[in-house]
Amino acid sequence: MFKLVINTFAEETLEKVSLKDKRTFLRLSKALDELEQNGLQSSNITALKNAPKIFRKRVGRWRILFTLEREVINIWIIAIEKDTDKDYKRWINFITYHM
């Protein structure tokens, strides 16, 4: 079992989703629970090409971006993917700046 640490930005996104779309919130919560239980053995996880220490978990159109340090999973971004290259570049910059 891993410990999840959810960044403020990701926490705010979860709060907004919980108020607007309960179904999506439940799907994201279930994905976070799976991540907490199984770590990198969870489904739909890929290491990002340009940032091999950053991983993403796909939940439909939503993406959960995180890093893993020993038994701690840091959740940085929870967002809808719109423009793959542009979004991932921006997200990688955000995460590497705050690490």
Average pLDDT over residues 58-62: 94
What are the DSSP E strand ranges found in the chain? 3-6, 45-48, 51-59, 62-69, 72-80
Q: Which residues pair with 79 in a beta bridge?
A: 63
Q: In this structure, what token pair is assigned to residue 33?
A: 């629970």
Average pLDDT over residues 47-64: 92
Reduced to 3 states (helix: H, G, I; strand: E, B; else coil), residue 96 is helix
* Position 85 pLDDT exceeds 80: no
Report field, pTM of the whole predicted structure over 0.85? yes
